[in-house]
Amino acid sequence: MYWYIKYPLIAILVMGLLGLSGLVWRSCVKNSSETEEADVAEQVAKHLAKPSTPAEGQPSAAVVEPAQPQAPVVTPPVVVGVDERLNAARQQFDRGMLVAARQIARGVLKMEGVTEFSPVWLDAVKVINDVNKKLMNSSAPADEKKFYRVVKGDSLSVIASRHYTSIGALIRCNESLQRDDGKAPIIRPSQTLSYIQGTWSIRVSKQHFLLMLYLDNQLYRVWTVGIGRENRTPVGKFVIAGKLVDPAWTPPGKYIPAGDPENVLGTRWMKLTPIEGTDPSLEGYGIHGTTEPDTVGTSCSLGCVRLRNEEVEELYDFIPEPGGSCPPVKVTIEE
């Protein structure tokens, strides 16, 4: 009787325990699965939030960053056309910005389609000519101008010879040497003088009646000239071999002193001597002034190249005295 009651109770107890353990097992399994799912979701969220690193050679994904303040971009005005450039050059000249005006005008000469002696070329050269005339006749600074500090024992002739220039050019480039009373300028130790450094050369175009002065092979000044009538001005290469102030005129069989109404040479004379294969018999030609300024720009002389007196005086002053260690000034005359 006892065993009959005992064993059914034991069976019931065992079954209850088994059911409880299954319940616990299912609960554990369920909780573990939910935890894993939560972990996976969290990892996915983190992965999506993290910027991806592109594979090598692939473009990066866009990363949104806070906007940074940027400095405004200032674009300088660009002058494109020839007319605009020439106007800009003239405006700079009128404002006294000489070097800037010259730089713009030189840029016009290099523009595509601008040919030598064309109207545009002449307009640009006029600006360059006006600028350099001021630079040659004042102490206004420029790249080609250098400075010399006077020391005891100096003279203008010594300084001019040392720097391949002339007394006249030194006076023109330094207002401190210019005097209204006609007396010789005075220099003092520690005084600073400016001068133009470089090699001068000259080119004459007979067809265009122009004399062009170059400094280190760059066009610097231009003047209108008179040439020989009936094609009497020879072409070729020459050097300036001599300089005279108030020259006498010696046509064949005559001697006409300076100041004589028949003397047409004006106030300055620069002798031309042929070089580099030019016919050596072409002697007696020169560059000079004139007592007949209205003839400048025409074929009028016996073969020489003539300028107005005030213009030939300016050119004369910047041509170094021939001889010595100074390189000769070369002159090319072309049709």
Q: What is the DSSP string of 5-73?
A: HHHHHHHHHHHHHHHHHHHHHHHHHHHHHHHHHHHHHHHHHHHHHSPPPPPTTSPPPP---PPPP-PPP
What is the enclosing helix (H) or strand (E) of 101? helix 98-109
Question: Would residue 47 count as lying in a domain?
Answer: no
Question: Would residue 71 count as lying in a domain?
Answer: no
> 276 pLDDT exceeds 70?
yes
Same domain? For 240 and 325 the reply is: yes
In this structure, what CATH number is given to the domain that contains residue 147?
3.10.350.10
- Cβ neighbours of 129 (radius 10 Å): 19
End-to-end Cα separation, the chain, in angstroms: 153
Same domain? For 241 and 300 the reply is: yes
> 8 pLDDT exceeds 90?
no
In this structure, what CATH number is given to the domain that contains residue 317?
2.40.440.10
Same domain? For 204 and 309 the reply is: yes
Q: Which of 118, 136, 154 is the last residue of a domain?
A: 136
Instruction: Say how far apart CA 137 and CA 323 lie, in whole Å.
Output: 25
Question: Would residue 21 count as lying in a domain?
Answer: no
At 270, the amino acid letter reads M
Same domain? For 111 and 146 the reply is: no
Same domain? For 204 and 302 the reply is: yes
Quick one: what percent of the chain has pLDDT higher than 70?
Answer: 76
Same domain? For 167 and 277 the reply is: no
Q: How many domains does the chain have?
A: 3
> 113 pLDDT exceeds 50?
yes
Same domain? For 204 and 330 the reply is: yes
Catalytic sites, residue numbers: 288, 304
Quick one: what percent of the chain has pLDDT higher than 90?
Answer: 71
Same domain? For 118 and 227 the reply is: no
Same domain? For 125 and 248 the reply is: no
Question: Would residue 256 count as lying in a domain?
Answer: yes
Q: pLDDT for 25-70, tens place per residue?
A: 343 334 444 444 444 344 434 443 444 333 343 433 333 334 444 4
pTM assigned to the model? 0.75
Question: Would residue 231 count as lying in a domain?
Answer: yes
CA angle 170-171-173, nearest 5°? 65
Range of the domain at 86: 80-136
Same domain? For 324 and 215 the reply is: yes
Same domain? For 295 and 205 the reply is: yes
- The more confidently predicted of residues 68 and 226 is 226
Nearest residue to 258 (alpha-carbon basis) of 309, 296, 211: 309
Same domain? For 312 and 232 the reply is: yes
Question: Would residue 263 count as lying in a domain?
Answer: yes
